[in-house]
Structure 1
Amino acid sequence: MRFIKEARILALCTLFTFIFVLPVMAQTTDVGQIQPRLSNIITCSAKLTINQNGMADASGYLNCRPNIQITYMQLTLQKKSGGSWIDVKSWTASGTGSMLSISKTYKVSRGTYRTKAYVRADSETKSTVSTSVTY
């Protein structure tokens, strides 16, 4: 009699395991597309202003984590020609700290311009563009 009672308890435990545990184990969560994490570059930006005399102030900024061995920036002033952007002037800077910036002035003719900043912190790279400005 005791054996039958223990067998019933074991059967009930097995049944509850299949009813309650297995459906929970079968559930999945859709996490979407996996995106790479940028680990060294915290922020980078490009900015452009043009005054009424056609003097363009182009600037780029890079802020990265401490202990970066090499930082690099190329800031390019671009002019819109048809449907594409043409490089007008480029400046570069490099360093070893956690911040790097370029700020330059350049005389432009009439047209629509933007700046593009390409930055590197060790082996990680990123590009960004400013909003376009029409002179």
Structure 2
Amino acid sequence: MELSIAVDVLIFLGGLFIGNRLTLANERRKEFNEVAEPLFKSLELQRRTLEEGSFPINVLSENDFIEAQRRIKFNQRRGFTTKITEYVLAQNQCGEYREGIYKLENPEILISRIEELTKYLSHK
């Protein structure tokens, strides 16, 4: 009798532990999605604008990604940070100012960087 009570208690405590872990993972996922969604939308708008032949007005800086960097999985953080840096550099490489107007010469550079970033920011 005492053995079955001990087994029941252990099973109950194990269930509590597993439930707690799953709840924490779900909360982390929700927090990430709340931060990533506006960034994803902005990047998608930029990609569409570039595909139409214009330079996007609402480009993002490295500072805009700080919250997403804090919430992304540890094993993906280095790659994500690298992609952010490449995205910011690509903003300067896809065209230049001439006579006060920005001339878009090679939008494929920035489009490819945006597509790489959106892989990290997709809904989880």
> TM class, shorter-chain normalised?
0.3 to 0.5
The structure carrying a bigger helix percent of its residues is: 2
The structure carrying a bigger strand percent of its residues is: 1
Larger gyration radius, structure 1 or structure 2: 1
Q: TM-score, normalised by structure 1?
A: 0.32
Q: TM-score, normalised by structure 2?
A: 0.34
